[in-house]
Chains A and B, each alone.
Chain A
Amino acid sequence: MTHHSDDELLLEYYGEEGPSPHLATCAECTARFRQLKTVLDAFTLEPPERSEHYGLEVWQSIRHRLPARESWWQSMLGLRPVLAAAAAILLLITGFAAGRFWPSDVQPALQVAGVDDVTTTVPMATEDEARRRVVLMTVTDHFDRSDRVLAEIMNAPGPHDLTAERQSARDLVAASRLYRHDAVVINEPAVAAVLEDVERVLLDVVHQPSTATAADLNEIRRRIESASLLFKLRVMANELQRQLEESSSPSTLPSTSTIG
């Protein structure tokens, strides 16, 4: 009788070849197969769990190491000259209007953020740069609040009383319209685009009945997931936070459009 080699037993163990009739009848090969199995069964390796934010963490780690490429909004504007022209005109008009009326808002907003003396902390800051910081801080906070509302909906059991979420969404939508305008003024079209995406879903939440059924909730969740909204929100919020933290001088504050 020809016995199985170790390699043949190994292929048998991994199911690479069909069941061996010989193995079923040969006590010696069966014993050797059991020994092999005992050894290989000792090799187990369970990867450590990664949180649901792991993808975001990886993206934050690598996004600045990617070779520079044209961003999506640049492509979009490049493909649509009329839209580009309209955006440029809008930018000019809003920039002009903001330049006239904004300065009175700058200092109080910075004080809220804990900056008591603007001239001491950011001596080189121009009005535009200070305004830009204020907008980015405000939008970062807005993204955090939107994230919380959407995350609550993602985790809510159905049916669910949406009264609180609807009220929060209504407030956020109202604020978002203003922030989108501000984002365009400070030349942050990528921020404006994320605000618009979030706004659409928040509007859906506003228009839900007070008590959402499981089906209603699933539909909103599907929209949140298909637009990868939470991911976009977190990426953008982290990016803005990073910029705010890293820019010891406002003059070095880059645009997310040139980064993303």
Chain B
Amino acid sequence: MEAGDIAAVLARASGGDEEAFGLLVNSHARTAFRLAFRLTGDERDAEDVVQESFIRAYRQLGRFEARSNFGTWLHRIVVNCAMDALRSRHTRRAERTGEPVEDAPDLAKSEAPSPERLALSTEIRRRVDDSMASLTPQERVAFALRHYEGRSIDEIGRTLGVQKSAAKHAVFRAVRKLRTALEPLRRYQ
């Protein structure tokens, strides 16, 4: 869809035209999914986040300013929805284990797999996944936006509605935890 078309469709959608909103969903859904997946790291969660984001966008369409970019506006909504999904997942994990999950698991203490028995790349992948799961929602989102999406710290702060320094420290904390989690593998590299 071209820029002029998007503006016209947006105007119709803002006026309550559901069909026009459907066109916006159609043209932005795949981008929204890629973002949601990078933030949540889970296909099913990403699907839910995409749907929830569009429902939320529809509800808030009246607040959208015509001069703004719909993609940018939707990006922020997807991030917020993903953050909610991660918080909910985080809480469920805490309830299941009965322990706080803020800190990275002490992977260094776990028995390192023998290189003969296990491919190192598989172990790295597992540890990467485990270490990502250990991050708080804000750390995870800040890291994903910086690392996978290539957003600047400044943009991340604006998207999350926090100061630039807070966004920066969220990324710092995330990377520290990730490095700690992967530290035991250094000896094989």
Which A residues contact B (CB, under 8 angstroms)? 6-7, 10-11, 14, 16, 35-36, 38-40, 42-43, 45, 47-48, 50, 54-59, 61-63, 65-67, 69-72, 75, 190, 225-226, 228, 231-232, 235, 260
Contacts and interface: CB of A to CB of B under 8 A. Distances in A.
Contacts of A75: 15-17
A67 B18 CA distance: 10
B114 interface: no
A55 B47 CA distance: 11
B18 A71 contact: yes
Contact of A69 (B18, B28, B152, B179): B18
Interface residues of B, number: 51
Interface in B50-67: 50-51, 54-55, 58-59
B12 A42 contact: no
Contact of A45 (B29, B41, B59): B41
Interface of B: 1-2, 5, 12, 15-23, 25-30, 33-34, 37-38, 41, 43, 46, 50-51, 54-55, 58-59, 124, 128, 132, 144, 146-148, 152-153, 168, 171-172, 175-176, 178-179, 182, 186, 189
Contacts of A71: 16-19
B157 to A, nearest CB: 12
Nearest to A6: B176
Given A14-B146, A42-B128, A228 B33 contact: no
A62 B25 contact: yes
Given A48-B37, A225-B1, A69 B26 contact: no
A55 B30 contact: yes
A231 B25 CA distance: 10
Given A6-B176, A54-B29, A55-B30, A45 B148 contact: yes
Contact of B172 (A10, A55, A59): A10
